[in-house]
């Protein structure tokens, strides 16, 4: 894979991305439809950036990578395995570390910028 050595802008536009359903084994409520536009990968393919969005719903999450998120639109509730919840809304930036397990719940539609790093 050849990586251009130029500045890359990350577009918030998800309109051209096909929506896919959440894995039924992970889905806890609703019928969340997700869109993802991976817009950059490094040459080692262990660092990614892009835009993600989902309709309302709740599902289990298990992270093998570190992820930085910036909420562009909407509201989500992220709950860890101990039951501790964090509500994130438009304008919030946060990190989900590798090894995190819990649930992600979207309240209405949510969109975010993300960058992920996996060793």
Cα–Cα distance measured from residue 72 to residue 70, given in angstroms and rounded to the nearest whole number: 6
Residue 8 falls inside a structural domain = no
- pLDDT at 52 > cutoff 90: yes
- Confidence tier at 15 by pLDDT (50, 70, 90): confident
Note down the domain range covering 47: 22-117
Which 3 state secondary structure label does DSSP give 18? coil
Residue 84 falls inside a structural domain = yes
User: Could you tell me the two tokens for 11?
Assistant: 């577009």
Residue 64 falls inside a structural domain = yes
Residue 17 falls inside a structural domain = no
Note the pLDDT tens digit of each residue in 16-45.
888 999 999 999 999 999 999 999 999 999
Q: What is the pTM of this model?
A: 0.91
* C-alpha distances in Å from residue 81, one per residue of 60, 76, 84, 85: 10, 16, 7, 9
Note the pLDDT tens digit of each residue in 57-111.
999 999 999 999 999 999 999 999 999 999 999 999 999 999 999 999 999 999 9
Residue 16 falls inside a structural domain = no
Handedness of CA 107, 11, 49, 95 (dihedral sign): negative
């Amino acid at each position: 894979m050849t990586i251009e050595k130029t500045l890359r802008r990350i577009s918030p536009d998800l309109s051209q991305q096909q929506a896919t359903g959440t894995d039924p084994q992970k889905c806890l409520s609703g019928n969340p439809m997700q869109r993802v536009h991976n817009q950059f990968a490094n040459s080692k393919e262990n660092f990614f950036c892009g835009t993600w969005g989902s309709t309302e719903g709740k599902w289990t999450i298990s992270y093998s990578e570190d992820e930085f998120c910036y909420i562009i639109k909407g509201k989500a509730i992220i709950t860890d395995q101990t039951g501790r919840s964090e509500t994130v809304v438009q304008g919030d930036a946060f990190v989900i570390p590798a090894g995190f397990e819990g649930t992600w719940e979207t309240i209405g539609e949510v969109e975010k910028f993300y960058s992920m790093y996996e060793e």
